[in-house]
Amino acid sequence: MFAPPAANAPGPSAPPAGMFDSMPGYEGTLTGGGIPSITEDTAREAFALFASSKCCYSAAPAKDGVITGMEAFNTYRYRLETFTESRSTVWNHEPYNQPVDAFVQPPPGPWDIPAQAPSFFMDSKQTIKVPYTSSIKPQNCHVCTGMGRKPCKNCAGAGNKVCWVCNGSGFRHGDDRCNHCSGRGREGQGSTLCSMCRGKQQLLVYIDLTVKTNNSEDYVVEQSSGLKIDNLSKVSGKELFRDTHFMVYPVMGFPDPAVVSAAQRLVNDHRAKFSQTSRILQQRQTIELIPVTKVTYSWKGNSHLYFVYGNEFKVNADNYPATCCCAIM
């Protein structure tokens, strides 16, 4: 496979100076132990909806539990999307029923073949038959050895499969001869059409080009709430920053140094990873603030907790206090 051609585009973009000097409305709430970003009513409603969605969960804790504390552990998610186009080739074949074009002229290289213009930041895949690579396979079809048909497995090639209409008797009702097998009680020709060459006896071989696009990578700042970070991949947050260019410049001056470090690492990693094997078409980086609220509540004299997180108010309650075991018999 040939290396992708160098793109003729400007260098990385740089963020405006001082753009992260302040984040109005989020001071003091971004690194754990802050003011909850949701109300008690919202936390209670989310918990009730969560419990009702579980067939084995009693609604009692969500309905009768008393909230005793709420604490915010809002966290950042940095995402870098490097929209790339990668190309790979592989030999393919199909029944021979069209003209060959190999050796008419040299085939174009993988990166010289026109492909459908992709939609930025959308996963896509297309397969293109490479021009001037089609030829007849030197040997006949390898499945039927050029016969175009294969021995029938059901009758061992003898053409004596029991007729399914008359069950091999040759008659349907009384003396009525079976029309399906003409009274033979057997059916079949002893062979079936080759599934590989479809009776053409020869195969056309050619090169297929596969074009794939898009790559994305996230970094979520560690937070001490106890909620597993994997849960945050399923929700969205409040977008604080978005930057889209041919090549982005790592964010600078952001309040959380972990985000700055992650941006630097991911931008460098993507350039090193994709520039040699793919064509970089566009990059986009975003920073989201994902709301995470740790809720403590009391039920039947015991203290329990759950988390409400994301714009979708998802709930995580690993130790829900009222469950039953269901079994499908």
Share of the chain above pLDDT 70, in %: 85
Buried b (16+ CB within 10 A) or exposed e, 253-284: ebbbebbbebbeebbeebeeebbeebbbbbbb
Q: 328: pLDDT confidence band, cut at 50, 70 and 90?
A: very low
Asked if residue 136 belongs to a domain, the reply is no
| Number of folded domains that form the chain | 1
* Residue 250 exposure: Cα atoms within 13 Å on the Cβ side: 17
Residue 310 lies in domain: 40-80+214-316
For residue 196, the Cα-to-chain-centroid distance in whole angstroms is 31
Hey, which residues does 91 pair with through a beta bridge? 207
Residue 47 has pLDDT above 90, yes or no: yes
Asked if residue 170 belongs to a domain, the reply is no
pLDDT at 224: 86
Q: Taking Cα atoms as reference points, which of 21, 3, 46 lies closest to residue 308?
A: 46
Instruction: Give per-residue pLDDT as tens, 241-289.
Output: 999 999 999 999 898 999 999 999 999 999 998 888 888 999 999 999 9
Tally of helices (H runs) and strands (E runs) in the chain:
3, 15
Q: Taking Cα atoms as reference points, which of 221, 189, 210 lies closest to residue 116?
A: 210
Asked if residue 45 belongs to a domain, the reply is yes
Asked if residue 182 belongs to a domain, the reply is no
* 172 burial level (CB within 10 Å; 0-12, 13-18, 19+): middle
Q: Which of 314 and 165 is assigned the larger pLDDT?
A: 314
- Between 26-35, 57-66, 271-280, 302-311, the lowest mean confidence (pLDDT) is in 26-35
Asked if residue 73 belongs to a domain, the reply is yes
Q: Which of 60 and 154 is assigned the larger pLDDT?
A: 60
pLDDT at 51: 94
Tokens of 287: 């920073």
Q: Which of 10 and 82 is assigned the larger pLDDT?
A: 82
Instruction: Give per-residue pLDDT as tens, 181-228.
Output: 877 777 766 778 888 888 888 889 999 999 998 888 999 998 888 999
Asked if residue 111 belongs to a domain, the reply is no
Q: Taking Cα atoms as reference points, which of 226, 259, 256 lies closest to residue 77?
A: 259
Instruction: Give per-residue pLDDT as tens, 102-146.
Output: 989 999 999 999 988 888 888 889 999 999 999 998 778 888 887
The tokens 């919202």 sit on which residue?
42
Q: 21: pLDDT confidence band, cut at 50, 70 and 90?
A: low
Asked if residue 255 belongs to a domain, the reply is yes
Share of the chain above pLDDT 90, in %: 50
Asked if residue 295 belongs to a domain, the reply is yes
pLDDT at 28: 44
pLDDT at 201: 82
